């Protein structure tokens, strides 16, 4: 009877779950090809070890992270108990061959059973404690489905309780394979022993079948809920971007006019345009809200939440399943039209609010790639629909016609060299042998009044340290970063290819960039278009020069300073320590960290072409960031990005005007901080 019931439940459970999983497989497979997702096998194995087995990102939140760690490992170890349960259906004294009587296995099974129960208690307390706050916009769980989470907690608890109960009863009837160390089973067995052997035998049957029933019900439930991530997350991590989750955008569409057909689609305008990996992302989201919690757009009252964006696309994917999986229509029959994603599924205000800062990608424990998906949708809007915020049009035209977003033109590219006191070589042909670096000044560094001062400081420092460099002057043009982040891939590639040609023409090998956006383009995105250069950010070079004592800061400063991580220097490129080490080299200077620092840094609001877009909804992001800095009462706010500097400087000025910041607070690049310490 026990065997029949157990097998019947298993067949029904596996049939329902299997059918659902096959449906999900077909749905995800309906996506477009996703090239490069299996390259770098060893890096993928490492990612599985660190992200899935090690639970790296989850452990960043200690209490829920540790609870999740034990739940994950508990379920992994408890796979042994599933084997034992099924074995016991056939033979009451079943033990796993070879290891089935080993004390360590009995101990591990019991230890993780108890650990999982304790983790469930922690989860329950956290949920109850945060329950009212979860409904508030500031909660990371705002908008998540919470009912399913209670069912999951209950389901896991039942799996473990039924498991411990049949094991305890097995002890009392002499069928338990572990004589000692399975402490929990033996402890419960003591309590059940007075019931007698016959009753304990009945208890084994009841709880064994109960365990199988709960397992099967849980399996089915998981495949129909957000807890699908139990299966999907290891796959999503295995196929995620490697070696880096951020940096350059993943895809570089072929824009060669000769290879385009009238069916060519740029970007993603409907769910059908996503790759299978992007669809797998949607199916994997756990609704944990770690991305939402850190998103600067959401945090300042914009309608964009990376979590809600992924959830909306996921819901739309499931609503579109019948159409996506339907056989191709017969000849002459009309296919059901796909719904345009914007504005039907994603509001334009959501799409254009993203700064591409990458906080969401960095935080996501299951490696969902929000930024690539958002830019893909922008590409469709710009290239296929010509729909984008009107103010972006001016910036795009300026890049196209004048080679910079402000439209100032090439004639001003060398203005910053005036009054430097030394000659800056301008590369007109091949760089001379003794010139080691090509200094990529960038549009802001050459044309914005405040950023020019940073360029001058950097140039003076390089000159003082004896670094031989040259610049392109009028031959330098916008890298195309704002055009690309806005979705205008065509303009980006025109700019990028022109720049690659110029850099090849002067035979540049090592390039210094003081703008992290330029750095990111040159280092991470130009290789896809044939530009392979050794690129170094000025913070890295200055850090080396200080370390090698080519620059020796000596003038003492008692200033309190906080460093703001640029998203494209930090999260996108992992450069956190070098700019800080430059500041630390200044004698007497006190460096303090904001709460949102390094990987968790808060965007200045300029990335993703947002520098050129209106910010009409919610609080201004730059002012929110400045407010975070001002909490430390600093004398200086430092950065290593011209765009961050402009945004933070505007923010500080706004706060000074409203009396919220002291008049003496300064915003400086690390090169300026260093240079001041060198001056007599």
Q: Which residues bind ligand SF4 (CB under 6 A)?
A: 285-291, 295-297, 304, 306-307, 310, 354-360, 363-364, 366, 368, 370-371
Strand partners, 511: 438, 535
Least distance from ligand SF4 to the Cβ atom of residue 302, Å: 8
Q: Whole-angstrom Cα distance, residue 603 to residue 567?
A: 6
Candidates 38, 33, 23; CA nearest to 317 is: 23
Least distance from ligand SF4 to the Cβ atom of residue 350, Å: 9
Least distance from ligand SF4 to the Cβ atom of residue 357, Å: 4
Neighbours of 256 (CB within 10 A): 8
Identify which of residues 123 and 533 has a Cβ nearer to ligand SF4 in the complex: 123
Three-class DSSP labels, 272-285? HHCEHHHHHHHHHC
Least distance from ligand SF4 to the Cβ atom of residue 290, Å: 4
For 97, which DSSP code?
T
Identify which of residues 357 and 641 has a Cβ nearer to ligand SF4 in the complex: 357
Least distance from ligand SF4 to the Cβ atom of residue 286, Å: 4
Both structure tokens of 446: 């050459």
Identify which of residues 584 and 599 has a Cβ nearer to ligand SF4 in the complex: 599
Q: Whole-angstrom Cα distance, residue 311 to residue 283?
A: 9
Identify which of residues 357 and 561 has a Cβ nearer to ligand SF4 in the complex: 357
For 512, the 3-state DSSP assignment is: strand
Identify which of residues 81 and 356 has a Cβ nearer to ligand SF4 in the complex: 356
Identify which of residues 616 and 679 has a Cβ nearer to ligand SF4 in the complex: 616
- Pairing of the two strands 510-513 and 560-563: unpaired
Which element (helix H / strand E) includes 399?
helix 390-402
Identify which of residues 148 and 206 has a Cβ nearer to ligand SF4 in the complex: 148
Identify which of residues 295 and 541 has a Cβ nearer to ligand SF4 in the complex: 295
Task: Decide: 393 and 399 in contact? Cβ < 8 Å.
Answer: no
Identify which of residues 227 and 452 has a Cβ nearer to ligand SF4 in the complex: 227
Three-class DSSP labels, 300-329? CCCCCCHHHHHHHHHHHHHHCHHHHHCCCC
Angle at 371 between CA 370 and CA 373, to 5 degrees: 65
Least distance from ligand SF4 to the Cβ atom of residue 525, Å: 17
Least distance from ligand SF4 to the Cβ atom of residue 370, Å: 5
Identify which of residues 310 and 640 has a Cβ nearer to ligand SF4 in the complex: 310
Task: Decide: 141 and 129 in contact? Cβ < 8 Å.
Answer: no
Q: Whole-angstrom Cα distance, residue 547 to residue 554?
A: 14
Q: Strands, DSSP E only, in 435-566?
A: 437-440, 469-471, 510-513, 534-537, 560-563
Identify which of residues 241 and 475 has a Cβ nearer to ligand SF4 in the complex: 241
For 412, which DSSP code?
G
Neighbours of 221 (CB within 10 A): 16
Q: Whole-angstrom Cα distance, residue 579 to residue 601?
A: 14
Q: Whole-angstrom Cα distance, residue 169 to residue 313?
A: 48
Least distance from ligand SF4 to the Cβ atom of residue 265, Å: 23
Cα distances from 535 to residues 400, 439, 472, 520, 670, in angstroms, run 25, 10, 15, 9, 19
Identify which of residues 380 and 469 has a Cβ nearer to ligand SF4 in the complex: 380
Q: Whole-angstrom Cα distance, residue 438 to residue 428?
A: 12
Least distance from ligand SF4 to the Cβ atom of residue 603, Å: 6
DSSP string over 554-598: -S----EEEEPPPTTTTTTT---HHHHHHHHTSTT-EEE--SS-G
Largest Cα–Cα separation, the chain: 99
Identify which of residues 28 and 586 has a Cβ nearer to ligand SF4 in the complex: 28
Q: Whole-angstrom Cα distance, residue 175 to residue 157?
A: 24
End-to-end CA, the chain:
92
Least distance from ligand SF4 to the Cβ atom of residue 374, Å: 6
Please identify which residue in the block is written with the tokens 């850099």. Answer: 503
Both structure tokens of 541: 């070079």
Least distance from ligand SF4 to the Cβ atom of residue 58, Å: 10
Identify which of residues 115 and 308 has a Cβ nearer to ligand SF4 in the complex: 308
DSSP string over 451-473: HHHHHHHHHHHHHHTT--EEE-G
Q: Whole-angstrom Cα distance, residue 178 to residue 89?
A: 18
Cα distances from 581 to residues 132, 541, 547, in angstroms, run 43, 11, 9
Residue 54 neighbours by CB under 8 Å, 6+ apart: none
Identify which of residues 341 and 359 has a Cβ nearer to ligand SF4 in the complex: 359
Least distance from ligand SF4 to the Cβ atom of residue 239, Å: 15
Least distance from ligand SF4 to the Cβ atom of residue 625, Å: 13
Least distance from ligand SF4 to the Cβ atom of residue 25, Å: 20
Least distance from ligand SF4 to the Cβ atom of residue 288, Å: 4
Least distance from ligand SF4 to the Cβ atom of residue 42, Å: 25
Cα distances from 430 to residues 145, 158, 509, 536, in angstroms, run 61, 73, 11, 20
Identify which of residues 320 and 355 has a Cβ nearer to ligand SF4 in the complex: 355
Least distance from ligand SF4 to the Cβ atom of residue 284, Å: 7
Identify which of residues 169 and 311 has a Cβ nearer to ligand SF4 in the complex: 311
How are strands ordered across the β-sheet holding 469-471?
469-471, 437-440, 510-513, 534-537
């Amino acid at each position: 009877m026990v065997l029949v019931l157990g097998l019947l439940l298993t067949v029904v459970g596996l049939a329902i779950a299997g059918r659902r999983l096959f449906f999900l497989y077909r749905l995800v497979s309906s996506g477009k090809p996703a090239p490069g997702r299996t390259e770098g096998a060893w890096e993928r194995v490492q990612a599985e070890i660190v992200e899935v087995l090690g639970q790296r990102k989850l452990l960043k939140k200690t209490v829920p992270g540790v609870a999740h760690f034990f739940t994950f490992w508990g379920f992994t170890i408890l796979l042994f108990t599933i084997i034992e349960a099924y074995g016991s259906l056939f033979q009451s004294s079943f033990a796993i061959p070879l290891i089935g009587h080993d004390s360590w296995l009995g101990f591990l099974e019991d230890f993780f059973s108890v650990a999982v129960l304790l983790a469930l208690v922690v989860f329950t307390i956290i949920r109850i404690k945060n329950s009212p706050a979860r409904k508030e916009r500031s909660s990371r769980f705002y908008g998540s489905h919470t009912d399913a989470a209670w069912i999951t907690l209950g389901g896991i608890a039942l799996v473990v309780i039924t498991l411990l109960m049949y094991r305890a009863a097995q002890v009392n009837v002499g069928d338990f394979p572990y004589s000692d160390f399975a402490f929990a089973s033996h402890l419960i067995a003591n309590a059940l022993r007075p019931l007698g052997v016959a009753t304990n035998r009945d208890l084994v049957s009841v709880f064994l079948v109960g365990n199988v029933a709960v397992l099967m019900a849980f399996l089915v439930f998981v495949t129909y809920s957000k807890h699908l991530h139990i299966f999907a997350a290891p796959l999503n991590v295995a196929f995620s971007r490697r070696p880096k989750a951020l940096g350059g955008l993943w895809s570089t569409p072929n824009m060669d006019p000769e290879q385009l057909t009238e069916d060519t689609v740029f970007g993603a305008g409907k769910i059908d345009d996503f790759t299978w990996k992007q669809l797998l992302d949607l199916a994997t989201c756990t609704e944990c809200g770690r991305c939402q919690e850190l998103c600067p757009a959401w945090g300042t009252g914009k309608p964009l939440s990376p979590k809600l964006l992924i959830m909306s696309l996921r819901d739309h994917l499931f609503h579109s399943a019948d159409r996506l999986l339907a056989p191709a229509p017969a000849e002459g029959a009309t296919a059901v039209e796909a719904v345009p994603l914007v504005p039907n599924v994603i509001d334009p205000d959501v799409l254009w609010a993203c700064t591409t800062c990458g906080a969401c990608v960095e935080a996501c424990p299951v490696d969902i790639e929000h930024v690539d998906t958002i830019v893909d949708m922008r590409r469709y809007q710009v290239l296929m629909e010509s729909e984008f915020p009107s103010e972006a049009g001016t910036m795009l035209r300026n890049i196209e016609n004048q080679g910079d977003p402000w439209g100032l033109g090439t004639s001003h590219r060398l203005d910053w060299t005036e009054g430097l006191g030394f000659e800056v070589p301008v590369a007109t042909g091949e760089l001379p042998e003794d010139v080691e670096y090509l200094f990529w000044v960038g549009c802001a560094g050459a044309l914005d009044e405040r950023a020019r001062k940073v360029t001058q400081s950097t140039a003076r420092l390089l000159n003082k340290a004896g670094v031989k460099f040259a610049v392109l002057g009028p031959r330098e043009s916008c890298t195309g970063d704002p055009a690309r982040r806005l979705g205008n891939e065509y303009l980006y590639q025109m700019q990028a290819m022109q720049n690659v040609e110029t850099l090849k023409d002067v035979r540049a090998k090592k390039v210094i960039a003081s703008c992290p956006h330029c750095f990111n383009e040159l280092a991470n995105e130009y290789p896809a278009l044939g530009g392979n250069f050794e690129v170094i950010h000025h913070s890295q070079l200055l850090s080396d020069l200080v370390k090698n004592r080519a620059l020796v800061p000596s003038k003492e400063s008692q200033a309190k300073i906080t460093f703001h991580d640029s998203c494209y220097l930090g999260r996108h490129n992992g450069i956190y320590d070098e700019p800080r080490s430059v500041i630390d080299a200044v004698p007497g200077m006190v460096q303090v960290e904001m709460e949102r620092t390094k990987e968790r840094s808060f965007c200045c609001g300029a990335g993703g072409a947002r520098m050129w877009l209106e910010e009409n909804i919610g609080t201004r992001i730059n002012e929110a960031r400045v407010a975070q800095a001002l909490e430390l009462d600093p004398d200086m706010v430092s950065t290593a990005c011209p765009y961050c500097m402009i945004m933070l400087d505007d923010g500080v000025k706004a706060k000074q005007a409203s009396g919220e910041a002291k008049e003496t607070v300064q915003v400086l690049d690390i090169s300026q901080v260093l240079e001041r310490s060198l001056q007599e």
